[in-house]
Structures are given as C-alpha cells and as structure tokens.
C-alpha cells in the first residue's frame, strides 16, 4: 500500500531564490539516491510562503528503510541540515503521513 509523506514548512522570504535552488537540489538528490519519489509543492492559494515536499513510498516498511538510508548518508544530512536551519522559519515544519486506500470493493 502506497505511503505519502506530506511535509509543509514556511520559507524565509528574504531567502526565496536560495530556498528554491536548495529545494531542487534536495529533490534531485533524493530521487537519484534513494528508492522513493519526491515532489516540491508550491502554493497556488493560501499562504504564499508555505511550501511542501511530497514523498511517495511503496509502503511503510520501505519508508522506514529509505529514512534509515537517508540518515546514514552524511552528504544528505549536511544538505538537509543546512537547508532547514538557514531557510525555514523555526517551528513551521508539519509532517503528515497518508496511505492510499485499498481498491477492493466489499459492497456486494
């Protein structure tokens, strides 16, 4: 069953160009080095400084395995640590996990 990790955060407005560049680098690094898909979501309506990362995993066990690999990767830890410390408003990160619904119908 597919697992989605939806992580929102507020970016520091004065660092907008740097944030976008760093987000693209993080997305590319994760998509190339780990077994999951990452998308950057930008607002159309609502708070214009709230961005999101949407990560898609094959299942909960796969999410845990990939997270372990990410947190064992020194290059990734440096990249993500600097990004969140320097570009994100403190206390604004919100992470939610979702799973896809089973398509089997029991309505007979």
Tokens of 20: 């976008």
- The pTM assigned to this predicted structure is 0.88
Q: How far apart are CA 51 and CA 22, in angstroms?
A: 13
pLDDT in tens, 21-30: 999 999 999 9
**pLDDT tens column, 70-106:** 999 999 999 999 999 999 999 999 999 999 988 776 6
Domains of the chain: 3-99 (3.30.70.100)
Phi, psi of 17 (to 5 degrees): -60, -40
Both structure tokens of 107: 């309505």
Written as six digits, the tokens of 84 are 């969140």
């Amino acid at each position: 069953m597919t697992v989605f990790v939806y992580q929102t955060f507020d970016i520091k407005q004065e660092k907008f160009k740097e944030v976008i560049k760093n987000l693209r680098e993080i997305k590319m690094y994760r998509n190339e080095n780990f077994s999951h898909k990452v998308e950057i979501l930008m607002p159309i309506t609502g708070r214009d400084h709230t961005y999101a990362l949407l990560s898609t995993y094959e299942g909960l066990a796969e999410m845990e395995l990939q997270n372990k690999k990410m947190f064992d990767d020194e290059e990734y830890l440096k990249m993500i640590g600097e990004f969140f410390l320097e570009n994100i408003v403190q206390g604004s990160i919100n992470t939610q996990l979702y799973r896809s619904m089973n398509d089997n119908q029991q309505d007979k």
